[in-house]
C-alpha cells in the first residue's frame, strides 16, 4: 500500500515548509531535551567547560586558561560557544552545551538547504532527518567538545565548494539565476573560504587538510580541475578568497601569535597537531580498522542502510563514478576514515565530519526507494533487518545498561522495554503501511528514545561517568590552602566542579599521582599540611593502609549495588604522619 508524506494537492512551497518544521522539531528534541540533566562527563568535557568559564568570567576571550594556567590544546571556537551559553543561561551544564547543540541544528538546516539545491526538497529532508538521528551526531551535539563545530564548518565548506564547482549543471532555476547574475556562483566561493577559516578556528589545521584531501581527488576523478583552475586563476577571486579565509582565522590566531609566540607554536601546532597524529603520545591507540566500525555503529539506526549504500556503490561502480555528486560524497566519507586510520592516536570523534556525507548517501538510497512504486527486494530486506536490529539492541539494553553503564535494574529494563516497543512500532508500520511510511517514522523514534534516556539513563550514567558529587563535596569541606588531586585516574575530570582546588603541574594537567609515597610527600609539602584525594575505591586501600599516612574519608560516590568496583570513588583527606 502506498503512502505519501503530504496530500497530492500540496504545493512544493507548502511541502518544503512542512519538511522544515519537521526538522526543527527533530532538532529541538534530539539535541536540546534534557541537555543539562547529564553532568559533564569524562576527562575532556569538564576541562573544556572550565576553560570556557574562565574566559567568560575573566573577560579575556583570546587566551585559553585552565586553573589560571595557559591551555593551548585546542582553538577557541568551542570555548566561545560555551561562554556565550554561560552568558545566556548562566554557568551550568546546559549553558556549556547550548552553543554546540545550536551549531548542530544549524548544520542540519544547512545540509537541508544545500541538498535541496542539488536533488530537491524530498532528498534534502530525508538526508537531514538521517543526520539528526544518526547516533554519533546527536551524541556529540549534546557535549561541550570540539568535533561537532569542526564537522559543521567542514560541511559548509565542502557543500559550498561543490555548488561553486558544479554551478552550471545545477537545476534550471539556479542556472537561470546564474545567467542573470554572473557573480552569483561566486557567492559559494566566498562561503567556502569563510567556512575554511571557521573550520580552522574550530580545530586547527585539520580544517584545511581534510577539505584539500577530499577536493583534490574529486577534481581529478571528475576531470573538472582545469575549468575550476581557469576560473579560480583570477587575481581578484583568489586574493579576496584568501583574505576572507585569513581574516576569519586571524580573529583568534592573530592575537594568540602576538601574545604568546613560540609557546603557542610549540604547544598548539607541534604537540597537539603533529605529535598527536604521528605518535601515541596522548594514549589513544586503536587498531587500523577502528574507524570503519565507528562509522557502522555511529550511524545506528541507519547502519544497514549505509551497508546497502556501500554494496550498491561497489556493484554499480561505473554508474557511481559517472555521478559527480556520488563521487564527491564517497570521497568525503572515505578520505577522513583513511586519513585518521593511519594516526597514532584514534578517538571516535575524529571521523564525525563524515556523517553529513554519510547521511547524504543514505538519503540517495531512501529517495530512490521512495520514488519507486515497487521498491527492490533489497530495500525491503534492509528495512526489515533494521527493525530486527533495533529489536536486538533494545533487548540488549537491559543487560548492557546494568553491566556496562551501571544502571539500576528498573531503569535499565524500562529503557529496554521502551526501545523494544519503538522497534515493534517501526516493524508494524513497515508491514502495514510499507517502506515509505517506515522511513518517515524511523527518525521520530529517536524522539521517544531521547526523552526516555533523559529520565531513565542520564541520572545513573552521570553518577558513573562524572565526579560531580565528590567534586562539590571537596569544595565544601576543603580547608584553607588545601588542594585536590587524583590518585590513579585517567578517565574523569573535575575541573568545572572543583574550581580553585585542583593542583596542577607546569604542563597544566591535573596532578594524578600513582603511588602512596607521592601522595604523602605532596601532602607534607602542601600549604595546609593535608591534601584532598579523589581515588577509585579499589585503589584507596594503598592509602588507608599505608603506615606513613593518616587518612580520613570525607565522601563516597556509589552508583548502586550492581555497579562494578570501577565506578565507586572516595574522597579522602590525607596527612603525612610525623
pLDDT tens digits for 477-504? Answer: 999 989 899 888 777 888 899 988 887 6
Give the domain-ending residue among 428, 444, 466.
466
Burial 347-364 (b: 16+ CB within 10 A, else e): bbbbbbbbbbbbbbbbbb
pLDDT at 99: 97
Spans of the chain below 50 pLDDT = 1-10, 170-175, 178-180, 507-508, 561, 565
Residues 30 and 177 in one domain: yes
Domain count, the chain: 3
Question: How far is it, in rounded angstroms, from Cα 216 to Cα 214?
Answer: 6
Note whether residue 4 is domain-resident. Answer: no
Query: DSSP class of residue 491?
Result: S
Per-residue model confidence (pLDDT) at position 406: 72
Answer yes or no: are the C-beta atoms of 405 and 464 closer than 8 Å.
yes
Identify whether the C-beta of residue 111 lies closer than 8 Å to the C-beta of residue 132: no
**Beta strands 549-557 and 531-536: pairing type?**
unpaired
CA gap 432, 575 in Å, rounded? 70
Rounded to whole angstroms, the Cα distance separating 280 from 284 reads 6
What is the tens place of the pLDDT at every residue in 174-226? 445 544 455 567 889 899 999 999 999 999 999 999 999 999 999 888 876 66
Asked if 382 and 337 sit in the same domain, the reply is: no
Which of 466, 498, 514 is the endpoint of a domain? Answer: 466
- The pLDDT of residue 266 is 84
Count the alpha carbons within 13 Å of 574 in the hemisphere toward its beta carbon: 35
Distance CA 134, CA 503 (A): 39
Tell me what pLDDT residue 281 has: 55
My answer on whether 348 and 385 are in the same domain is: no
Residues 98 and 156 in one domain: yes
Q: What is the pLDDT of residue 275?
A: 63
**What domain range includes position 558?**
467-576
Q: Are residues 436 and 516 in the same domain?
A: no
**454 with 472, same domain?**
no
Amino acid at each position: 500500500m502506498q503512502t505519501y508524506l503530504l496530500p497530492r494537492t500540496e504545493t512544493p512551497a507548502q511541502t518544503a515548509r512542512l519538511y522544515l518544521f519537521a526538522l526543527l522539531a527533530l532538532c529541538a528534541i534530539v539535541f536540546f531535551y534534557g541537555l543539562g540533566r547529564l553532568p559533564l562527563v569524562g576527562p575532556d568535557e569538564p576541562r573544556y567547560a572550565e576553560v570556557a568559564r574562565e574566559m567568560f568570567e575573566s573577560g579575556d576571550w583570546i587566551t585559553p586558561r585552565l586553573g589560571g594556567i595557559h591551555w593551548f590544546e585546542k582553538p577557541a571556537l568551542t570555548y566561545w560557544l560555551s561562554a556565550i551559553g554561560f552568558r545566556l543561561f548562566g554557568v551550568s551544564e546546559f549553558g556549556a552545551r547550548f552553543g554546540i547543540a545550536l551549531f548542530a541544528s544549524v548544520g542540519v538546516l544547512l545540509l537541508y538547504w544545500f541538498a535541496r539545491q542539488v536533488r530537491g526538497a524530498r532528498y534534502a529532508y530525508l538526508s537531514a532527518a538521517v543526520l539528526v538521528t544518526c547516533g554519533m551526531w546527536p551524541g556529540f551535539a549534546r557535549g561541550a567538545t570540539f568535533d561537532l563545530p569542526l564537522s559543521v564548518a567542514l560541511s559548509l565548506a565542502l557543500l559550498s565548494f561543490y555548488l561553486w564547482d558544479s554551478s552550471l549543471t545545477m537545476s534550471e532555476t539556479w542556472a537561470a539565476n546564474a545567467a542573470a547574475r554572473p557573480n552569483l556562483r561566486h557567492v559559494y566561493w566566498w562561503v567556502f573560504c569563510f567556512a575554511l577559516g571557521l573550520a580552522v578556528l574550530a580545530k586547527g589545521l585539520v580544517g584545511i587538510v581534510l577539505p584539500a584531501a577530499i577536493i583534490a581527488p574529486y577534481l581529478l576523478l571528475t576531470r573538472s580541475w582545469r575549468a575550476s583552475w581557469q576560473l579560480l586563476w583570477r587575481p581578484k577571486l583568489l586574493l579576496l578568497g584568501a583574505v576572507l579565509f585569513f581574516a576569519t582565522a586571524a580573529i583568534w590566531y592573530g592575537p594568540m601569535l602576538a601574545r604568546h609566540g613560540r609557546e603557542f607554536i610549540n604547544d598548539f601546532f607541534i604537540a597537539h597537531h603533529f605529535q598527536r597524529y604521528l605518535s601515541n603520545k596522548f594514549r589513544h591507540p586503536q587498531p587500523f580498522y577502528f574507524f570503519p566500525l565507528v562509522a557502522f555503529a555511529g550511524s545506528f539506526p541507519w547502519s544497514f542502510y549505509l551497508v546497502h549504500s556501500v554494496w550498491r556503490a561497489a556493484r554499480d561502480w561505473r554508474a557511481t563514478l559517472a555521478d559527480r555528486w556520488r563521487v564527491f560524497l564517497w570521497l568525503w566519507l572515505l578520505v577522513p576514515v583513511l586519513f585518521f586510520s593511519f594516526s597514532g592516536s584514534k578517538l571516535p570523534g575524529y571521523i564525525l565530519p563524515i556523517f553529513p556525507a554519510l547521511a547524504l548517501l543514505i538519503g540517495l538510497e531512501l529517495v530512490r526507494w521512495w520514488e519507486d512504486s515497487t521498491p527492490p527486494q533489497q530495500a525491503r530486506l534492509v528495512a526489515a533487518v533494521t527493525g530486527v536490529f533495533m529489536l536486538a539492541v533494545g533487548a540488549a539494553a537491559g543487560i548492557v545498561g546494568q553491566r556496562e553503564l551501571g544502571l539500576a535494574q528498573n531503569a535499565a529494563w524500562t529503557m529496554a522495554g521502551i526501545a523494544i516497543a519503538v522497534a515493534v512500532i517501526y516493524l508494524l508500520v513497515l508491514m502495514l503501511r510499507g517502506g515509505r511510511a517506515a522511513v518517515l517514522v524511523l527518525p521520530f523514534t529517536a524522539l521517544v528514545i531521547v526523552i526516555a534516556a533523559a529520565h531513565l539513563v542520564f541520572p545513573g550514567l552521570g553518577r558513573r561517568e562524572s565526579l560531580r558529587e565528590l567534586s562539590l563535596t571537596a569544595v565544601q569541606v576543603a580547608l584553607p590552602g588545601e588542594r585536590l588531586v587524583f590518585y590513579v585516574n585517567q578517565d574523569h575530570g573535575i575541573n568545572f566542579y572543583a574550581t580553585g582546588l585542583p593542583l596542577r603541574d607546569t604542563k597544566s594537567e591535573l596532578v594524578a599521582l600513582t603511588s602512596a609515597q607521592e601522595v604523602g610527600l605532596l601532602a607534607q609539602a602542601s600549604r595546609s599540611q593535608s591534601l584532598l584525594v579523589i581515588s577509585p575505591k579499589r585503589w584507596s586501600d594503598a592509602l588507608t593502609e599505608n603506615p606513613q599516612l593518616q587518612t580520613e574519608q570525607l565522601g563516597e560516590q556509589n552508583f548502586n549495588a550492581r555497579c562494578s568496583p570501577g565506578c565507586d570513588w572516595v574522597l579522602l583527606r590525607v596527612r603525612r604522619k610525623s
